[in-house]
Structure 1
Amino acid sequence: MKNNLIFGHKTPDTDSVCSAITLSNLKNKINEPSIPYILDNITKETEFVLNYFNVKTPNILTNVKIQIKDLSYDKVKPFKLNQSVHFAYFFMNENKLRTLPIIDDDGKLAGIITMKDIAMSLINTDQKYLCTSYDNIIETLIGSELLRFDNIIEGNITVASFEEKTLRNSETLNENSIVIVGDRYDVIKYAIELGVKLIIVTGDFSIPLSLLDLAKKNKINLIKTPFHTYYTAKNVSLSKYVNHIMKTSGLMIFTEDDYLEDCKEDIEQSKHSKFPIISRDKKYLGLLSRNHLINPSRKKVILVDHNEMGQSADGIEEAEILEVIDHHKIGDIKTPIPISFRNTPVGSTNTIIYQMYKENNIKIEKPMAGLMLSGIISDTLLLKSPTTTDADKIAVENLSKIVELDLYKYAMDMFKAGTSLESKSIEEVLYQDFKKFNLEYKNIGISQVFTLDINQIMINENDYINLIDNITLAKDYFMIIMAVTDIVNEGSYIFYTSDKEKIVKLIFNIEDVHQGIYIDKCVSRKKQIVPSVINAIKQMN
C-alpha cells in the first residue's frame, strides 16, 4: 500500500507544518499509512517548535504531478548479459513477451532485445564464430558435461562431416575450432591431438575411455548432446550471449522520477512499443507501454490548513485529493467524487486534529501534544486572536497538561524566534507568510508578518512599499497587503499597493489612510482582513 501524502499550504507556518505532522501520526496509528511533507522551507518559529520537541522536519515536496513511478508499468524480470539467446527466446515465448531488458552485474540497464532481434541475428550475423560460456552451450543443447577446462568458449564452429584424412589435408581444424561431430571417433581423436577448443559429440554417443583419457590429458573441453548433428549445428549459435544481439543505442528510456506530462507526447509518437524505466542511479525497474498511460494512478493526498488551488502543491489538479482538514473559508478545491471535507470555524487546524485524536481514542504523546499546542498558540496568538474559540481554549488546556511547560514563557520564546528578521531580505520577510487569494475574481496577495519590534520594518518602509508595487505589477495582482502584526499590542501596521489607497479606506473603514497605518485589534488575516477585502471589492463593483 502506498503512503498518502499530507501537506499544508505553500508558505508553511507553524499551524500548517504541525498539523501535517500530527495528522500523519494519527493516520499511521489507525492503519492509514501516510507521510507528512512541507511545500517550502519552514519559518524560524516552526524550526524552534520542531527543535524544542525533537521532531524531524518533513521533507520538501516540490509537486504532486503524475510521475512514471506512479504508473502500473510491467515489472518484467531482466536478463543478465551473460545469459544465452536460446534461454531468452524460450523465456520470452513462455511469458508471451516481445521485449526483454538486459542488465549488467550491478542491475543497471545495458540494453534490450526483441523477438525480431533474435530472428534477425539468425539471418544476418556470423553463425560460424561463437563466444559464450560452457554452461550456455550445455543449456542450449540440453547437453551433459564430459570434460570442462574452460568456462568461456570462443572459436569457430566446424561440422566434421568429412573423413579424418580429408580434414587433415584441408587444415580446416585448429586450436580455435569448436568441432561438432557424431560417432566419428577417428575425427574425435584427430581433434583432440590438434588441441581444439571444444568438441561437441552429437547423437548421445558414448565416448571410448581411451579418447576421454586422451582428451583429459590434452585439456580438451567435451560436451555430449542427444541432438543429431544437423540440429546441433543449426542451434548452437543460440548459446551466444544476449549482449551480442541486444540494442544499446536509439532506446527511449525514462526514469521513475520523470513527469508523465513531459513524456506522454514522446511515447505516443514513438515507433517503439516498450520503454525501459530506470531509477535515479540507472538501475532497471521495468517496462512501460502506451496502455499504461490510460487512467494512470494519481498521488493520493490529504490537504491541511488550506483548501485553495493557488495555495496548494504544484500539480494538485493531477492528484487524487482524499481529504481536506481546514479552518479557513471554503476555497476553489474541486474533486470528481465526494471526499471527507472537515472545515470548522476554529482558530487552528491543530484544534480540529486534537478533536480527531479524541474521536479515534488515540493517546496523544508529548511530542505530538507539543506540536498541536504550538500550532494553536501560533494561529491564535496565544488565544488573543478574534478567531479563538472555546474549542481552541479547551484544546490548549488539555494539551498543556500533557506537555507540562510554562505556557506564556514558551509562547513568548516561540514568538521571539519567529519574529526575528535578522539576516532576512525584505523579500524573504514579505513572503515568509504570504497567501494568494482569488477574491471576487481578483488576485489578492496578503502577507502577515508578526513582530515584537515594529522598528525593524519601519526603517525599510520605502523598500517594502516598492517591493509590494513591483510584485503587484509583475505577478498580475489586483493588490497586495502586508499586515505587520504587533503581538504584544494586538494590532497591525498596514502596507499596501500604492495606487489602491481608495480600496484600503473601504477595507479598514477609515478616511485617513497612509502606508504603515496602525489598525488596532486587527490581528487575523482570515477573520478580519480577508472578509473586509471581499466586502470592499463588492462595494467598488
Structure 2
Amino acid sequence: METLRKVNVIGHLHPDTDSICSAVSYAWLKNAIGPKIHEPRRAGSINRETAFVLKRWGVDEPDLITSVRPQVKDLAYQRERGIDAETSLYAAWNKMRDDRQDTLCVTTDDQELLGLVTVKDVANANMDVFANDVLSTSRTSYANVIETLNGEMVLGDPSEQIAGGKVVVGTSPEMMEDSIEEGDMVLVTNRYEVQRYAIDSGASCLVICCDAKPTRGIISAAEHHGCRIITTPLDTYAATRLICMSVPVRSVMLSQGLVTFSVNTTIEDVRKTMSATRHRYFPILDEDGRFAGVISGANMFDIKRKHVILMDHSEVSQAVDGLSHAIILEIIDHHRIGTIETTSPALYRAQPVGCTCTIVKQMYDENGITPPPHIAGLMLSAILSDTLTFRSPTCTEQDKLAAQELAGICGVDIDTYADEMFEAGADLTGRTAEDVFNSDFKIFSRGSARFGVGQGSYMTESSRKAAEALVGPYLADAARNEDLPVVMYMFTDVKTQTTDLLFYGEGAESVVRAAFGVEPTDGMAVLPGVVSRKKQMIPPLMAAFEKLSEE
C-alpha cells in the first residue's frame, strides 16, 4: 500500500448533518488513536441545520472537496525556487548543466513567475555573434560581466548597468582607429598603448585579459576619463566568446503565453495539455499563485493517489468525483450496500442503525476514548437529525443509548436541543428553492432506474407548507440540473410523523401509486407514518421501479 500522507474523511454529496458530523467526529478519533493525518471534508454546501450545529459547538466548517482525482500536488514534481531575472545566461547555463535541466523558471524574490529560459535560448544567444551591442541593449550589470569572466573590478561600481556602446576587441591603435566609439567596452591584453588608446577614445570599460594588471598610469587615466577597468584570467579568445553570455536571462526569457499548471490541476488535464504542446517542462504554481517547481512528462509515472474514508454513504452517485482514482481505506455507513467498488481491501463497517454517528460512538467506546464535549455535541446532533429525535423507524436502541450518553457528555437536554436544531433547519429566511432542495438530496439507482429523493424535516405545519410552496415549482429544474428522469422530495412533519411527497418526471405518479398504494393529487402524495427515506421510502420505490420495468 502507498505511504499515507493525508487521509480525507468525506461524507456524501448534498451533505446532511450526519454526513458532516460523522466525518468530523471520525477524523478526530482517527487522529487520537493514530497519526494525525486525517482531515474531515465536505462534498457540498452545508444546510442551515448543520450550520446551526457547527456554530453551536464551535466547530469550523470542513473544507470543501469536489474531486479526489489525482492532481499535480500528488506528483513527485521538481520542487525548486526560481532564478533571479538578473541572473546571467552563463550562470543559468551552469545551473542547467549541474542540475541536469533544460528549463529554468525566472521569478521575483517572492516567487512570482516572470518567465522561463531554456537551453535553446542560451544556445541562440551564444550563436548570435553579430549582436555586439547586446550588453547595452539588455542593460547588463557589470557584476554579471565580472561573474561570467571570473574577473575582478579594479575601477568602477559592479552594480552599474551597461547603458550604451558595443563590445570591441582591441588589437592595435592602428586597427582600432575606425572601430572604437565612445561608450564601447574594449577587450585588451597587457599592451599599454592599446589600453591607453581605448581609454582616450572614450571607452566606457576596459576588460584586461590574461590576468594582466593595469599600471598606475592606466588606472589614473581611466579614472580621469570615467572608464571602468575589469581584469580577467581568461585569454582574449575565451573572454570574447563568453562576455555576451553575461546578459541577464530576462533579455531572452519567454514571458508571454506561458503554459502553467496549478498544484490543483488534475493529472488528466495535465496530460491533455502536454500532448498538445512541444514543451518539455512546465511551471507549477501553488495555491497562492506562486512558483513552486516544474513538471515534465517523466513525472507523470509517479502518481500518489489520494486516500479517503467514506462516511454515511456507499453509492457512487452520492460520492465525490473521481472516486475510482482514489484509494478507499474505509467505509462507515448505515445504509444499504451500494455501488462503490474498491481496488484493494478496505475496512467496511455498515450497521442497521439510525445514524452513522451511532457507529462512530461505538468505535470511540471500543478504543476506550471519551469524546470531548464539542465532538459529543456533533454526534448527538447527527443522531437526533437522522432519527427525527427517535421518531424514525430506523431508530434503534443503540441510537437512543448513544444519544443519551452523548447528551450527558455535552450537557444538553435532548428534547429542548432537538427543537432548536430542527427549527434552525426549517428557517426559510433568505433561502432559494435550489438551496432548500439541495440541503439533503440523494441520487439512487437500480438496474435502469435512476432517480433522486430529497428530504426536509419540519416541526410545524406552517414551516412545512412554506417549504412545499417554495420547492414544488423547482422540481422540474432540479430534474434537468441533475439529469434525472424522476425527482421526489419528502416534506416530513416530525411531530405528526407524516410526509408530503412531491414528485416530478415521466412515470413518477405511477411509481408512487405502485410503491405506496395511494392516489396522488396534483403531483403530491400524503404518506402517513412515512418519515424515513432510507427504510420507508427507498425500498418500496426500488421495488416499484423494478416491477413497472418488467410490465
TM-score (ref. length: structure 1): 0.91
Residues 460 and 286 of structure 1: is their aligned pair in 2 closer, same or farther, counting only changes over 3 Å? Answer: closer
Q: Deviations over 1:118-137 (max 9, x none)?
A: 22222235442224222222
Counterpart of 2:44, as a letter, is: D
Partners of 1:474 and 1:73 in 2: CA distance: 38
**Partner of 2:514 in structure 1?**
506
* Contiguous gaps of at least 5 residues in structure 1: none
| Match status 1:527 vs 2:531 | no
Check 1:181–1:153 CA distance in 2 against 1; reply closer, same or farther (3 A cut): farther
Residue 55 of structure 1: CA displacement? Answer: 1.3
1:75-474 pair list within 5 angstroms: 75-124=79-128, 126-129=130-133, 130-131=135-136, 132-154=140-162, 155-162=165-172, 164=173, 167=176, 170-249=177-256, 251-279=258-286, 282-294=289-301, 296-458=303-465, 467-468=474-475, 471-472=478-479
Compute the displacement of 1:312 (Å). Answer: 1.4
Tell me the SS of whatever aligns to 2:403: helix
User: Is the 1:149–1:220 Cα contact (8 Å) retained in structure 2?
Assistant: no
The answer for the alignment partner of 1:10 in structure 2 is 13
How many angstroms does 1:378 deviate by? 0.7
Kept in 1, the 8 Å contact 2:6–2:38? The answer is yes
C-alpha spacing 1:463/1:161, structure 2 compared with 1 (3 Å): closer
Structure 1 position 298, deviation (Å) = 2.9
For the structure 1 residues 54 and 271, does the alpha-carbon distance in structure 2 shift closer, same or farther, using more than 3 Å as the test? same
Aligned length: 537
Q: Distance in 2 between matches of 1:511 and 1:181?
A: 104
Deviation at 1:536, TM superposition (A): 3.0
The corresponding residue for 1:491 is: 498
Answer with 405-414 or 319-328: which moved more.
Answer: 319-328
SS in 1 for 2:79: coil
Q: CA deviation at 1:194?
A: 4.3
Distance 1:235 1:279 in 2: 36
Query: Shift in Å at residue 329 of structure 1?
Result: 0.8
User: Contact 1:507–1:535 at 8 Å: present in 2 too?
Assistant: yes
Q: Secondary structure at the match of 1:152?
A: coil
For 1:56-87, what per-residue CA distance to the aligned partner results, in whole angstroms no more than 9, with x for missing partners? Answer: 12233233333333332222443211111111
Residue identity opposite 2:9 in structure 1? I
Distance (whole Å) between structure 1 residues aligned to residue 230 and residue 408 of structure 2: 81
Q: What SS does the corresponding residue of 1:247 show, helix, strand or coil?
A: coil
Separation in structure 2 between the aligned mates of residue 460 and residue 201 of structure 1, nearest angstrom: 88
Going from structure 1 to structure 2, the CA distance change for 1:214 and 1:488 (only over 3 Å counts) comes to same
CA distance in 1, matches of 2:344, 2:184: 71
Q: Displacement, 1:332?
A: 0.7
CA 1:126–1:75 in 2, change beyond 3 Å: closer, same or farther? farther
Equivalent residue for 1:36, pick from 34, 40, 44: 40
User: In the alignment, which residue of structure 1 is the partner of 2:29?
Assistant: 26
Cα separation, 2, equivalents of 1:61 and 1:300: 13
**Number of the residue aligned with 2:78:** 74
- SS of the equivalent of 2:76 reads coil
The 2-side partners of 1:341 and 1:90 are apart by: 55
Amino acid at match of 2:261: F
Deviates more, 1:196-205 or 1:450-459: 450-459
Q: Which moved more, 1:49-58 or 1:479-488?
A: 479-488
Deviations 1:336-376 (A, max 9, x none): 11122221222111112222223334441111111111111
CA distance in structure 2 between the partners assigned to 1:346 and 1:361 by the alignment: 21
Aligned equivalents of 2:467, 2:129: Cα separation in 1: 77
Cα distance in 2 for partners of 1:430, 1:238 equals 65
Instruction: Give yes or no for contact 2:81–2:291 (8 Å, CA) kept in 1.
Output: no
Coordinate RMSD, CA, aligned: 2.7
Counterparts in 2 of 1:74 and 1:523: CA distance versus 1, 3 Å = same
- CA distance change for structure 1 residues 271 and 522 in 2, over 3 Å: closer, same or farther? same
Residues 197 and 521 of structure 1, relative CA distance in 2, 3 Å threshold: same
Taking a change above 3 Å as real, the CA distance of residues 395 and 141 of structure 1, as seen in their structure-2 partners, is same
**Residue in 1 aligned with 2:52?**
48
Deviates more, 1:188-197 or 1:327-336: 188-197
CA shift, 1:165, in A, is 5.5
| Matched AA of 1:123 | M
Instruction: Look up the equivalent residue of 2:43 and give its one-letter code.
Output: L
Does the aligned pair in 2 maintain the 1:84–1:240 contact within 8 Å?
Answer: yes
Q: CA deviation at 1:408?
A: 1.1
SS of 1:79's equivalent?
Answer: coil
Structure 1 residue 450: Cα displacement:
0.8
Q: Secondary structure at the match of 1:334?
A: coil
Q: Which residue of 2 aligns with 1:60?
A: 64
* Deviation for aligned residue 1:319: 3.0
Cα pair distance change 1:469/1:112, threshold 3 Å? closer
TM-aligned CA distance change 1:266 to 1:469, over 3 Å: closer
Describe the shift of the 1:276–1:403 C-alpha distance in structure 2 as closer, same or farther (beyond 3 A): same
Cα gap change, 1:65 to 1:405, in 2 (>3 Å): same
Note the residue ranges of structure 2 that are not aligned, 5 or more in a row: none
Task: Check the 8 A contact 2:512/2:518 in 1, yes or no.
Answer: no
Structure-2 separation of matches of 1:77 and 1:427: 45
Aligned mates of 1:82, 1:71 — CA distance in 2: 31
Shift of 1:43: 1.4
Name the CA distance, whole Å, in 2 between partners of 1:331 and 1:225. Answer: 76
Give the 3 Å change call, closer, same or farther, for CA 231–424 of structure 1 in structure 2.
closer
Identity %: 33
CA separation of 1:62 and 1:475: change in aligned 2, threshold 3 A: closer
Q: Deviations over 1:130-160 (max 9, x none)?
A: 2422222222111123222352342311111
Structure 1 residues 268-295: Cα deviation after superposition (integer angstroms, max 9, x where no partner) = 1322222222346543222222233335
CA deviations on 1:434-488 (whole Å, 9 max, x unpaired) are 2110034311221212112234444786886554466557756454332221111
Q: For the residues of structure 2 that align with 1:250 and 1:467, how far apart are their CA atoms?
A: 44
Instruction: Kindly provide the amino acid, as one letter, of the partner of residue 403 in structure 2.
Output: V
Relative to structure 1, the CA distance from residue 231 to residue 392 in structure 2 (aligned partners, 3 Å threshold; closer, same or farther) is same
Structure 2 CA distance for partners of 1:459 and 1:82, relative to 1, 3 Å: closer
